[in-house]
């Protein structure tokens, strides 16, 4: 059972929220960002750059972040990182994430694997497999992403993130990954994003938010 499947009550609450919430939750790939926006969402919804590279590293060494379900205006279910202490979102390109052991990547090349994307289960929260391709003629750091069965390939980790993940995987680090954007088997899938981390970090970001933590910004 995937992470999203364990949240029926939360899903119902968001679906029944006031009309202002889905109107403000703009689909990332459908509406271009304007001044003061990031990924089509207000900049004020995101954790600011405060000059602290270890902002997302807690005293116990684990991230001060959790994954939360998010429904964009187009009705797509995704997972987003949310800061425990503020309820603010964290963008997938935030350079402080690797310091917390978190690696997020929008995949590249889904258009070349449409049949496999449709056949595999890449629904948010589902486990995916990272497969190194050191002999790939286009990128020696290539990291392919398959569904949990290993039978269906979605696409490749983008080159920038692939360099880092390739080094970790080649060093023997046990890196696990889940989908944070995608679709279930049998549904067309045009964009897949993943989050990779060690088992401890992944388990942590998938755990419930701390008691008393501020509501995620888009629920306020």
- Which CATH number do you get for residue 146? 3.30.70.2330
91 contacts 83 by C-beta, under 8 angstroms? no
- What residues have CB less than 8 Å from 212, skipping those under 6 apart? none
Q: Taking the model in full, what pTM does it have? A: 0.82
Residue 172: which domain range? 4-219
Angle at 181 between CA 55 and CA 166, to 5 degrees: 65
DSSP class of residue 28 equals: T
At 192 the pLDDT is 94
At 5 the pLDDT is 45
Query: What contacts 24+ positions apart, CB below 8 Å, involve 111-116?
Result: 111/190, 112/155, 113/153, 113/154, 113/155, 114/188, 114/189, 116/152, 116/153, 116/154
At 22 the pLDDT is 32
At 189 the pLDDT is 85
At 37 the pLDDT is 53
At 42 the pLDDT is 86
63 contacts 204 by C-beta, under 8 angstroms? yes
Beta strands in 72-152 (DSSP E): 77-83, 89-90, 103-108, 127-132, 143-147
User: Going residue by residue through the chain (220 aa), what tens digit of pLDDT does each one get?
Assistant: 444 444 333 333 323 332 233 333 333 333 344 445 566 688 899 999 888 999 999 999 999 999 999 987 677 899 999 999 999 999 999 999 999 999 999 999 988 889 999 999 999 999 999 999 999 999 999 999 999 999 999 999 999 999 999 999 999 999 999 999 999 999 988 899 999 999 999 999 999 999 999 999 988 8
At 206 the pLDDT is 98
Domain count, the chain: 1
At 75 the pLDDT is 77
* CA distances (Å), origin 124, targets 25, 178, 185, 201: 17, 7, 12, 17
Q: Which two tokens stand for residue 51?
A: 């000059």
């Amino acid at each position: 059972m995937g992470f999203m499947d364990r949240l029926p009550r939360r899903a119902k609450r968001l679906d029944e929220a006031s009309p202002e919430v889905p109107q403000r939750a703009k689909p990332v790939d459908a509406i271009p960002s304007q001044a003061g926006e990031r990924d089509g969402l207000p900049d004020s919804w995101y954790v600011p750059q405060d000059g602290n590279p270890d902002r997302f590293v807690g005293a116990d060494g684990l991230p001060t972040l959790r994954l939360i379900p998010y429904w964009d205006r187009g009705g797509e279910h995704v997972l987003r990182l949310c800061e425990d202490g503020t309820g603010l979102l964290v963008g997938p390109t935030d350079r402080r994430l690797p310091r917390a052991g978190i690696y997020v990547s929008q995949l590249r090349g889904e258009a070349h694997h449409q049949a496999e994307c449709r056949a595999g289960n890449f629904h948010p929260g589902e486990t995916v497999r990272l497969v190194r391709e050191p002999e790939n003629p286009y990128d020696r750091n290539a990291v392919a992403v398959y569904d949990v069965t290993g039978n269906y390939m979605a696409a490749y980790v983008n080159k920038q993130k692939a360099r880092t993940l390739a080094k970790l995987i080649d060093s023997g680090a046990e890196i696990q990954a889940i989908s944070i954007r995608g679709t279930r088997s049998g549904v067309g899938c045009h964009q897949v994003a993943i989050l990779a981390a060690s088992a401890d970090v992944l388990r942590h970001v998938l755990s419930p938010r701390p008691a008393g933590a501020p509501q995620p910004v888009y629920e306020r």
